[in-house]
Amino acid sequence: MADETRQLAEFAASLTHGQIPSAIRARAIDILVDQIGVEIGCSDLPWARQVRESCRCAGGAAEATVVRYGDRLPVATAAFINSTFGHSFEYDDGNPKFHGHAGAELIPSLLSVGERDHISGRDFLTAFVAAYEVRGHIGWALSPEMAKRGGPQYSTTCGPFGVAAGVARLLGLDAEGIRNAMGIAGGFSGGLMQYDQGGGSVKRIYTAIAASAGIQSAHLARAGITGPEGILEGARGLLRIYSSEYKAQRLTQDLGKQWMFETAYFKPYCCVGIIAAAIDGFRKIVTENCLAADDIESVVVGYPKGYDLHAGGTSPHDILGMQFSTSYSLALTLLKGGNTPREYTAEALTDPAVREFADRVSVKEDAELTSGYEGRLPARVVVGSRAGRRSEELVINARGSPGAPLTSDQVDEKFRSQVAAVLGDARCDKLLRTLRTIDELDAVAKLPPMFVAN
């Protein structure tokens, strides 16, 4: 081991705006736009309202703003609520290289602290890039083995470290202070993934757990609490405890040279990311062969090891379960015409036609995908027709993934589809322009009032 935790802390402390390539800054802004759009668009879902009501009852100092509603609460509380909004419907960004949902972990956290402390847009963006890279390298060091074995969950396991690094930087801590914040964050790391088997709306708060934990860790470090050396690479550190096939060298490999933003993906569909490839492949087969539901006898979807379980639910108990079910997602694709918030509903969950078609879909491990496509989210779809035809489609680069990325214009289109109905067209476009030029903003405290509905 080579004191990798300290090296990550030094990177987070020393990165300058000028060291970030323009393409990486642009992709970071894409993630910012996407996350704020999801926060606003998903802020009125039942579990989002429940989290807001639960958290705001505690009150506290008026430090940061809750998106859409305008509540003023302590930074950790506001970040917890906003992060829940941003992860409320499986519509937020991800990264197949390091897993989890870094945008929803980091952006609400850094914006809340930035609002309170009147951080400039330029400093916010630099801290976000630094934190994203730290978070990415930690998740990468645990991949793919932790994903294959079914957890713990990446946002709750790795997210606190990235948030701690980014917030500690905004608080003015040096490399040693950031290292301590990351060491403290180790006490918050963990999180089970039974939600992909048993549903439950608690999964909606998993990025919020990372946000709150990281913020607390950074503030504790500023107050003088210290964390253990080697929290990531040590004998009882993150890598050894949570993975039997960890790769410690990845913690710092190509740090500041190859950027984690290069493998970000944006979700065109409201489901766990691996299902996107299956939807794309299924759509192509159905379209090219002019198939209707009655024409299809069977659908078999192959995934890499671990993902077959992650997205293989057949009897979902709730909407979250549908979003982690390949069979139900493909039924919605065919019978409801899409996989957006309009299709994943309680009514669809109990629709007999959806259930009947879902029963024709099966999921299995595909050995070729397991061994050959690390860092991607591929799927193989085989459709058998009642007429005896067999159609197969292998999708390595799903729409929105690193190999077929959404453009900035497409990210903006997704943003408008969620925000215009809440803020109105004019305010939506003004907010979008401001986010796109965040480097020029003298204080991110000017942003939150723009997030609030009249």
- Residue 405 — pLDDT band, cuts 50, 70, 90? very high
Mean pLDDT for the stretch of residues 258-270: 97
CA angle 204, 208, 209 (to 5 degrees): 105
Average pLDDT over every residue of 236-259: 95
Q: What is the mean pLDDT of residues 395-416?
A: 96
**Quick check: 256 and 19 in contact, CB under 8 A?**
yes
Residues 76-122 have pLDDT tens digits of 999 999 999 999 999 999 999 999 999 999 999 999 999 999 999 99
For residue 139, the tally of other CB atoms under 10 A from its CB is 26
* Arithmetic mean of pLDDT, 289-296: 97
Span(s) in the chain for CATH 1.10.4100.10 = 4-263
For the cut 80, the answer to whether the pLDDT of residue 444 exceeds it is: yes
Helix H or strand E segment including 367: helix 367-372
For the entire predicted model, the pTM comes to 0.96
Q: What would the mean pLDDT of 190-200 be, rounded to a whole number?
A: 93
How far apart are alpha carbons 98 and 162 in whole angstroms?
Answer: 12
Taking each continuous run of H as one helix and of E as one strand, the counts in the chain are 22, 6
SS3 260: helix
State the pLDDT at residue 201: 95
**What pLDDT score was predicted for residue 2?**
84
Question: For position 100, what pLDDT does the model report?
Answer: 96
For the chain, what is the mean pLDDT? Answer: 96
Residue pointed to by tokens 């405890």: 241
Cα–Cα dist 77/54, whole Å: 10
Mean pLDDT of 319-325: 96
Residue-wise pLDDT for 360-390, tens only, equals 999 999 999 988 888 889 999 999 999 999 9
In this predicted model, what pLDDT tens digit does every residue of 5-53 receive, in sequence order? 999 999 999 999 999 999 999 999 999 999 999 999 999 999 999 999 9
Tokens of 125: 């963006």
Largest CA distance in the chain: 71
**Hey, which CATH number is domain 4-263, 1.10.4100.10, 1.10.375.10, 3.30.565.10, 1.10.3210.10?**
1.10.4100.10
- The answer to whether 125 and 176 are in contact (CB under 8 A) is no
- DSSP class of residue 20? S
pLDDT digits (tens, 9 = 90+) for 149-165: 889 999 999 999 999 99
User: In percent, how much of the chain has pLDDT > 70?
Assistant: 100
- Domain range 275-395, its CATH number among 3.30.590.10, 2.60.40.10, 3.30.1330.120, 3.90.230.10: 3.30.1330.120
What confidence score (pLDDT) does residue 373 get?
86
Q: Is 400 left (phi over 0), alpha (psi -120 to 50) or beta?
A: left
What number of residues does the chain have?
454
What does the pLDDT read at residue 401?
A: 95
Q: What percent of the chain has pLDDT over 90?
A: 94
Residues of the chain with CATH 3.30.1330.120: 275-395
Q: Given the structure tokens 């680069």, which residue do they identify?
A: 397
pLDDT higher than 80, residue 1: no
Say what the pLDDT of residue 238 is: 97
Closest C-alpha among 127, 189, 187 to residue 156: 189
pLDDT tens, 207-228? 999 999 999 999 999 999 999 9
AA identity, residue 54: S
Whole-number Å distance between alpha carbons of 239 and 121: 34
What sign has the CA pseudo-torsion 188, 172, 431, 402? negative
So what's the pLDDT on residue 454? 81
